[in-house]
Structure 1
C-alpha cells in the first residue's frame, strides 16, 4: 500500500495519471477507500493526480489531538516534500478547500493554480454549516439532515414526492458511516477534524493568496452558501468565480463543472 512518512505521521496516498501535477484535498470525513472519489473522477485522466487521507482519517495515522488547520496545511506541504513535488496545482473540496486556503497562505510558492470548491473562509466572510451539530443526531436523522443541506431543493415536499431517492441516499450514507466505524481512532479522528473545522478563519488573510484562484460553488448548496463564495472571490486578488447548477456535490450534478475546472487549470 502507498504509505509515506510526512513529518511525524505516516500518510496514505494515491497517485495516478500524467500531465500537470494536481494535489486534491478531500472534504470532511474523506477516505480514499470510498468508491466515489478523486481517483474515479475525470481529473485522474487529465492530470498527474495526488490524493491522500488527511490526519485522523482513512488509513493515515491518527495521532492524539487536538488538530489545527495549520496542522492539516503543513501535512500537505510535508506530503509534497515526501513525493518530491516542489509545486503543483491544488484543488480543495469543502473542508479540503479550507485546508487549501491555509496551505496557499502558509506555503505560497508551492501553489501554481488554486481551485476552491464549496468551501468557506470563516470569520467575517462566513462559515460553512456547523457539521459538528449534526453529530448530536441519530444516524438516520443525521443522514436525512445532511441530504437536505447538501441541496436546498430537497425540501420536505420534495422528499415526500421522492421516497425512493430519499431511502437510497440514507441507506448509502448509513452504509458508508458504518463501513470503517470499528477501526481504532476512527471516531476520534473525525471529531478532531470537526473541531479544527470550527476554528477555521482565513478571511482577513485571503488577500495574501498570490496563486491564480478559481472559486466554485453550487447554487443550491446549504453547507457552503453561494454568497460565501462571492465574498471569498472579492477578497482574493484576481479570483474568478463560477456558480454551477447543483448543491454541495455540484461536480456530480452539473456536467459542465469538471470540464470548466480542468480547462481553467490548463491555462498558461
Structure 2
C-alpha cells in the first residue's frame, strides 16, 4: 500500500469488553509501524481530527478510539478505574489483531498508557507520552473535574490558562487575540458537552482520572519511552513530567517551549515522534 492508497476505516469496533468508536488509518505499506494512539480526556473524534494530518501519521498504521465516557463509545455500568481504561486499550489491540504496538499517548491517554504498559508490557513496542504524569500524591496532574461546575465560557477560560501559562499574559497584552482563542475553545466546550458531559460519562472518566497513580509501577516499565513535555504546562507540570522520565528505566525527556497538548501542534514534538517511530521527518 502506498501513501496514495491510504485506507481509512471509522465506526463502531466491538471488543470483548465494550464497543468503541474508532478510527483506523492504514498508510505506508505492510511494514509501516503499528501505532495505538490514546487521546486525552476530551478525545471526541467528531471534534478531534487534525491529528490525522500529522506528517508522521502518513507513514503508519494507526488505530485510535474514543475512551469510555466520551462521544459514541459505550459506557459500561459500575465505577471505572484507570485499570479499566488500560484493559479497554488491550481489548482494542485484540480486536484489530495486533500482538504489539507502538503506543503514542497524550494527557489522559498518557496515564492510560502507563497502566497499559504496567499490566501488559509485552504488548508495548515503545511508549511516546506527552503532557502526562505518573499521578499519586506528589506528581498528580491538575484535577480538572472542578471545571465541570463552571459554565462552558468559564471552563474554557480556565482550561486555556491552565494548559498554557502564557495565555494569562496574552489576555493582558493582546486581548483581541486572546478573545479569538477563547471563542474557539468555548465552541469546542459547547460541542463536547453533548453527549459526553450531559450523559455523565465525562464525569465518570474524571473520577477514574483522579485515582491515577502509577508511581509504584514505573520501575518495572522497561519499554523504550519518549516523554514530551511543555515548559508552560500547568495541567501536567514540567516537574512532574521530568520526575516521570527520571523514574522510568529507559526514558528520555524532551522539554519544549510549549504548553499542554503539544503532541500534534508543536513542530518539535512532531519531529521527535517521527524519529522515535523511525518514519519520515515532519515538514515545518
TM-score, normalised relative to structure 1: 0.93
CA contact (8 A) 1:43 1:49 kept: no
Deviations 1:219-260 (A, max 9, x none): 110111111111111111021111111000333553221011
Q: In the alignment, does 2:22 pair up with 1:13?
A: yes
Q: Which moved more, 1:7-16 or 1:197-206?
A: 7-16
Aligned position for 1:232: 244
Deviations 1:79-103 (A, max 9, x none): 1101000001001100000000000
1:135, CA displacement in angstroms? 1.6
Q: Which runs of 5+ in 1 are unaligned?
A: none
Residue pairs, 1:1-268, within 5 angstroms: 1-16=10-25, 17-18=27-28, 19-155=32-168, 157-179=169-191, 181-183=193-195, 186-251=198-263, 253-266=265-278
Aligned equivalents of 1:71 and 1:35: distance in 2?
A: 23
1:179, CA displacement in angstroms? 2.1
- 1:240 aligned counterpart, secondary structure: strand
Aligned position for 2:282: none
1:31, CA displacement in angstroms? 0.9
Aligned equivalents of 2:233 and 2:259: distance in 1?
A: 4
- 1:193 aligned counterpart, secondary structure: helix
Q: CA, structure 1 residues 132+184, in 2 after alignment: closer, same or farther (shift >3 Å)?
A: closer
- 1:241 aligned counterpart, secondary structure: strand
Aligned residues: CA RMSD: 1.8
Deviations 1:77-135 (A, max 9, x none): 01110100000100110000000000000011100010111101111540111101122
Aligned equivalents of 1:250 and 1:182: distance in 2?
A: 25
